[in-house]
């Protein structure tokens, strides 16, 4: 069954109710649903397999967990969930430089001193005391989201890091940014938008 953005015109509560109903129908009927959506949360919630496309090219195909946790490139990372995507230099295996600071990571095979894209999810950033962080910054915005606080931390280079945390840090507070090595995703940097669109499966 092909469904092309079937819930787009519904309000949030009704859309959530209909998502559960569609999942129930899929399981009851035992047929394949092809579900077209631009709502990333909806795709993660309802899918067994997700296909992310850009300009008609498949960027990545996999389970919701693999798409979210192991994106193939910066486009997929940015499209599926909020991300901090920053330029970096892969100094060597398992070591990347971001805005002049060296971060340990787990990625290998990108070469030496090679420009890369670095993807870090907002929930994977730990805010610590300034001297304990690999980078330092100042909290410039904060919004209470219910389950967590959404904050922007501006570092001296001017980049605004998006951070999700259950801990609240006040606007104006100086903080350090710490990221565990396995939470850092390294991506090849495309030479152009066309190369980015072609993606990994061309």
170 domain-assigned: yes
35 domain-assigned: no
| N-terminal to C-terminal alpha carbon distance within the chain | 27
Indicate the number of domains in the chain: 1
Q: What's the average model confidence in pLDDT over 107-120?
A: 95
128 domain-assigned: yes
- Please, which residues bridge with residue 198 across strands? none
Q: What is the pLDDT of residues 59-72, one digit of tens each?
A: 999 999 999 888 88
Phi, psi (5° rounding) for residue 29?
-80, -25
135 domain-assigned: yes
Q: Between 153 and 82, whose confidence is greater?
A: 153
Q: What is the pLDDT of residue 81?
A: 82
CATH number at residue 138: 2.40.50.140
Residue 76: CB partners within 8 Å, gap ≥ 6? 52, 59, 60, 67
Report the distance separating Cα 12 and Cα 7, nearest Å: 9
Domain extent, residue 175, equals 120-182
Q: What is the pLDDT of residue 189?
A: 84
Q: What is the pLDDT of residue 12?
A: 84
Report the distance separating Cα 67 and Cα 159, nearest Å: 26
54 domain-assigned: no
158 domain-assigned: yes
For residue 201, pLDDT beyond 70: no
154 domain-assigned: yes
C-alpha 2, offset from chain centre: 27
43 domain-assigned: no
Of 85-99, 126-140, 184-198, least confident by mean pLDDT is 184-198
């Amino acid at each position: 069954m092909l469904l092309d953005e079937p819930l787009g015109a519904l309000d949030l509560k009704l859309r959530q109710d209909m998502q559960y109903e569609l999942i129930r129908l899929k399981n009851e009927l035992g047929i394949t649903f092809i579900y077209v959506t631009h709502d990333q949360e909806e795709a993660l919630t309802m899918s067994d397999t997700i296909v992310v496309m850009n300009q008609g090219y498949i960027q990545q195909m996999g389970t919701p967990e693999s798409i979210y946790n192991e994106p193939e490139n910066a486009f997929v990372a940015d499209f599926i969930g909020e991300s901090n995507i920053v330029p970096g230099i892969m100094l060597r295996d398992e070591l990347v430089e971001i805005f002049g600071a060296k971060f340990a990571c787990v990625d290998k095979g990108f070469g030496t001193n090679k420009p890369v894209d670095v993807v870090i999810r907002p929930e994977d950033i730990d805010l610590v005391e300034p001297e304990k962080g690999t980078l330092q910054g100042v909290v410039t915005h904060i919004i209470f989201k219910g389950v967590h606080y959404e904050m922007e931390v501006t570092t001296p280079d001017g980049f605004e890091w998006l951070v999700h945390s259950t801990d609240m840090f006040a606007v104006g507070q100086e903080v350090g940014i710490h990221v565990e090595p396995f939470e850092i995703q390294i991506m090849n940097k495309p030479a152009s938008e066309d190369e980015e669109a072609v993606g990994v499966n061309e």
